[in-house]
Structure 1
């Protein structure tokens, strides 16, 4: 039986600074539990859909024993940010009142540099496999979205995953379609053990896990996109997408191997 998935909740108490490396303008912030977080705003970029992708992608990675900073729900009070002088940031804060998502801040972490750092081939293959499963377009040489912290590799920023969210009515097609963008993956040249990764990782996931996972998506995020009037119907779409995608893992692993062969 799958264990229930729970995220902690925190209240944001201080906006420290914007992290302008991200297109959605995340921020470093203090919370009332005494920790610092990288705060992802519901009012930015792709709005709540980016938070849903971040939540699902991060927790699937964690289930696969890949390292991901702790994800927490982060509440933003309506009064927060009124003294912020930057109009762009003030508008972002106003548009993000309520429930947001945050990642535990890894102090002292450095960006992964594919030209200077090599990875274990199985680890590289597992990360490529994960990104193929969740259709993540954003782990490239330009934007690796990986950090080295305490001599270990940590995955961050899955908000550009689950492309089907932006063409909701064709989610079944998206679950089985090819994903040619994988050719741009920063770790594809090092991912020489894709079959081994597939054999191991597909055993760790299940429809039951996906069912539990989608239960933690907040109703207000699911309803914000206007794709479904019932949040449970929206959850079912995410669950079914992941279940169908997983059932095609042998197929997308071969597709990834073909992309790697063409690359090297």
Structure 2
């Protein structure tokens, strides 16, 4: 089922989150909720927002917990009174549609050395990150939160890194994810074969074709990527993910092999 993504208007810049590579911030919207706002004007650009959207909603479709994702509209007048010049420049460059995740107040960074995780959950997260080629779930930065006694996944902006060049993207779709060796949950991922059988049937071409329709036109750059129009670029995202899911056995074997070298 394709999610219905709400759109909110950003009303207040609360505080920057300096640890994020894309200079995210906590912001308030016109629905009176707080969000972690990620800006299209950051150095990583709209591609990080596309990866955030697709990666987060794929995780949700697989039954994993992700904070609600919304489109966040930034008005041209927003941030004019911001005293920090770097932040003001970022806000000016991000006018229009951005992305935000519901702020989990009181959450803590998940540390598997302190909080236990079961093998099935670990295997599901490893499988997800192999599918979307997420390089950013390491011991240095787990991008997982513990909130209300539950595990939540955040920050998928570094996933789908193939779209930074679009070179030989069909071939890349069927390649193993060698960086799984650095995945923070790999030592606990003993159920990858069972998860693969469960998840492969959920990740269908029809699902991906519907999902990519959510990508806002303003985030796409078809001419830069070598496509005739935005619909063609959306279709390429869907095809990449469909190929990857159909060849999941390749990245599962890579993950299993990498795990054997750890244990």
Could you tell me the TM-score, scaled by structure 2's length?
0.97
Question: Secondary structure of the equivalent of 2:220?
Answer: helix
Q: Does the CA contact (< 8 Å) of 2:82 and 2:88 recur in 1?
A: yes
Q: Does the CA contact (< 8 Å) of 2:109 and 2:146 recur in 1?
A: yes
Q: Does the CA contact (< 8 Å) of 1:52 and 1:217 recur in 2?
A: yes
Partner of 2:133: 135
Structure 2 spans left out of the alignment, 5+ residues: none
**Which residues in structure 2 correspond to 1:83-162 (within 5 Å)?**
83-162=81-160
Q: Does the CA contact (< 8 Å) of 1:49 and 1:225 recur in 2?
A: no
1:152: Cα distance to partner? 0.3
Partner of 1:65: 63
Partner of 2:257: 258
Structure 1 spans left out of the alignment, 5+ residues: none
1:225: Cα distance to partner? 7.7
- How far apart in 2 are the matches of 1:200 and 1:158? 22
Partner of 2:49: 51
Deviates more, 1:32-41 or 1:165-174: 165-174
Q: Does the CA contact (< 8 Å) of 1:12 and 1:32 recur in 2?
A: yes
1:222: Cα distance to partner? 1.0
Q: Does the CA contact (< 8 Å) of 2:222 and 2:230 recur in 1?
A: no
Change (3 A) 1:108 1:225: farther
Partner of 2:221: 223
Deviates more, 1:27-36 or 1:164-173: 164-173
1:229: Cα distance to partner? 4.2
**Which residues in structure 2 correspond to 1:206-217 (within 5 Å)?**
206-217=204-215
Partner of 2:235: 236
Question: Secondary structure of the equivalent of 1:251?
Answer: helix
User: Which aligned runs of 4 or more in structure 1 are off by greater than 6 angstroms?
Assistant: none
Could you tell me the TM-score, scaled by structure 1's length?
0.97
- How far apart in 1 are the matches of 2:20 and 2:139? 15
Q: Does the CA contact (< 8 Å) of 1:109 and 1:147 recur in 2?
A: yes
Q: Does the CA contact (< 8 Å) of 2:222 and 2:233 recur in 1?
A: no
- How far apart in 2 are the matches of 1:74 and 1:229? 28
- How far apart in 1 are the matches of 2:207 and 2:6? 19
1:224: Cα distance to partner? 7.5
1:226: Cα distance to partner? 2.4
Q: Does the CA contact (< 8 Å) of 2:40 and 2:49 recur in 1?
A: yes
- How far apart in 1 are the matches of 2:81 and 2:66? 33
Question: Secondary structure of the equivalent of 2:159?
Answer: coil
1:5: Cα distance to partner? 2.9
- How far apart in 1 are the matches of 2:117 and 2:17? 27
Deviates more, 1:144-153 or 1:223-232: 223-232
- How far apart in 1 are the matches of 2:228 and 2:47? 15
1:114: Cα distance to partner? 2.1
1:204: Cα distance to partner? 1.6
**Which residues in structure 2 correspond to 1:159-174 (within 5 Å)?**
159-174=157-172
Q: Does the CA contact (< 8 Å) of 2:75 and 2:95 recur in 1?
A: yes
